Amino acid sequence: MEVVLGPENCVPPVNGSAVTIGAYDGVHLGHRHLLEELRRSAGVRGLETVVVTFDRHPATVVRPESAPSVLTDLDQKLELLASTGVDKTVVVTFDEARADETAEDFVTEVLVGALGARLVVVGRDFHFGHGRKGNVALLEEMGARHGFQVVGLALESDLQGEAVSSTRIRRALEEGDVRSAAGLLGRHHQVRGIVVHGAGRGGSQLGFPTANVDVPDEVALPAVGIYACWYQGADGEPRRAAVSVGYRPTFLPEGAEPPSTCVVEAFLLDFDGDLYGEPARVSFVERLRPERRFDSEGDLVEAMTDDVARTRNVLAAPLPGSAPR
């Protein structure tokens, strides 16, 4: 897949393109359904497939006080988009100027001028442009003038008839329901970061050395708790890990307020090595229990021993495709 940074760096294909537009946060099953339709329709017409997405979630600029956490950072999103088989992704910088741009100007500049769109495929509820005034009806009106067809698709639903959406996946993660999130994503929810030094208690004090993964603040973490996970380091090898997402309450002074950010600590099963400074990917498979404060380090060690045993059981026989991408 070709990645182009900015529509100003695009050259319209000779035969035109089939385009979809959106944040594509998570590249979940609903997104994949739409991208399959884009590829199918483009193939019939002999068009290049193009995803137009943004370098950040638009809400971080439009309404930063209530912007959601993201399911994927930009690098992971691009990897997932590439796995769908689209030809090109154009990454648009979403800044104040772009937020103030009218829907009409966006269509003229990006869809028509930069991409030579002949087909635009979006969800029926798609909105874009300043004040979210752009929609399928406006696209159809402008398509009639500029020579592109518009397909507005119904949102993909699960077996219960509820639409698959990034918002719904975030809600599942907030509840610690990583299995439901995986069912909507079509993969385990994964966070990425660099392994940094922690408090140093894990190995020397507790007997469970952990990799402390510094996950960017804007990335969605599941609810505080202990999880069975797949861990991938710099070598890309999936390893079983018992992972804590939380605040280390056993080591907080009585009555103290927890820190403002969670710590992600991964204990890798059957592994001995130095991971500091390496990139890490943590994929959440199952929540084992909530985080809790223990009366003693001995009680904590006993619970951690049980967490490791349960992690081993959960990940003993992964189903095909369940290991992280």
Q: Which of 127, 153, 179 is the last residue of a domain?
A: 153
Query: Which DSSP category does 128 fall into?
Result: B
Structure tokens at 256: 């103290």
CB-count exposure of residue 174 (10 Å: 0-12, 13-18, 19+): middle
Please report whether residue 51 resides in a domain.
Answer: yes
On whether both 6 and 144 belong to a single domain, the answer is: yes
Do residues 131 and 38 share a domain?
A: yes
- Give the three-state DSSP class for 291: coil
Residues 140 and 39 in one domain: yes
CB-based contacts of 126, cutoff 8 Å, min separation 6: 21, 22, 135, 136, 152
Q: How far apart are CA 83 and CA 150, in angstroms?
A: 24
Q: Is residue 203 domain-shared with residue 134, that is, in the same domain?
A: no
| Token pair for 236 | 């890309």
Of the three residues 153, 174, 199, the one that is the final residue of a domain is: 153
Q: Name the token pair of 170.
A: 């975030």
> What is the reported pLDDT for 206?
63
Is residue 103 in some structural domain?
A: yes
Statement to judge: residues 136 and 218 lie in one domain: no
* Residue numbers in the chain where pLDDT is lower than 50: 203-204, 319-321
**Checking DSSP bridges between strand 117-123 and strand 149-153, what pairing results, if any?**
parallel
What CATH number has the domain bearing residue 285? 2.40.30.30
Instruction: Give residue 33's domain range.
Output: 2-153
- Domain end point (choices 153, 177, 210): 153
Residues 204 and 282 placed together within one structural domain of the fold:
yes
Query: Tell me, what's the pLDDT at 323?
Result: 52
Amino acid letter, 195: V
Cα(233)–Cα(240) distance, integer angstroms? 12
Number of structural domains (the chain) is: 2
How far apart CA 5 and CA 325 sit, in angstroms, is 24
3 state SS of 108? helix
Kindly state whether residue 263 falls inside one of the protein's structural domains.
yes
Question: For residues 253 and 257, what is the distance between their CA atoms, to the nearest angstrom?
Answer: 9
Interhelix angle for 178-185 vs 166-174, to 10°?
160
Looking at residue 317, its amino acid is A
Question: What is the per-residue pLDDT for 299?
Answer: 79
Interatomic CA distance for residues 69 and 116, integer angstroms:
33
Helix or strand holding residue 238 (H, E): strand 238-246
- Indicate if 193 and 140 belong to the same structural domain: no
Contacts of residue 165, Cβ cutoff 8 Å, sequence gap at least 6: 28, 30, 155
Same domain flag for 209 and 306: yes
Give yes or no: residues 127 and 201 share one domain: no
Cβ atoms of 150 and 143 within 8 Å: the answer is yes
Does residue 179 fall inside a structural domain? no
pLDDT at 142: 97
Do 113 and 245 fall within a single domain? no
User: Identity (one letter) of the amino acid at 277?
Assistant: G
Contact criterion met (CB below 8 Å) for 61 and 99: yes
* Residue 69: inside a domain: yes
pLDDT at 203: 45
Q: Do 192 and 242 fall into the same domain?
A: yes
Instruction: Give yes or no: residues 34 and 136 share one domain.
Output: yes
pLDDT value of residue 26: 97
Provide the CA 30 distance to its chain's centre, in angstroms: 13
Identify the CA nearest to 156 among candidates 71, 31, 37, 38: 31
In a domain, 168, yes or no: no
The reply to whether 324 falls in a domain is no
169 within some domain: no
Q: What CATH number is attached to the domain comprising 110?
A: 3.40.50.620
How much of the chain exceeds pLDDT 90, in percent? Answer: 79
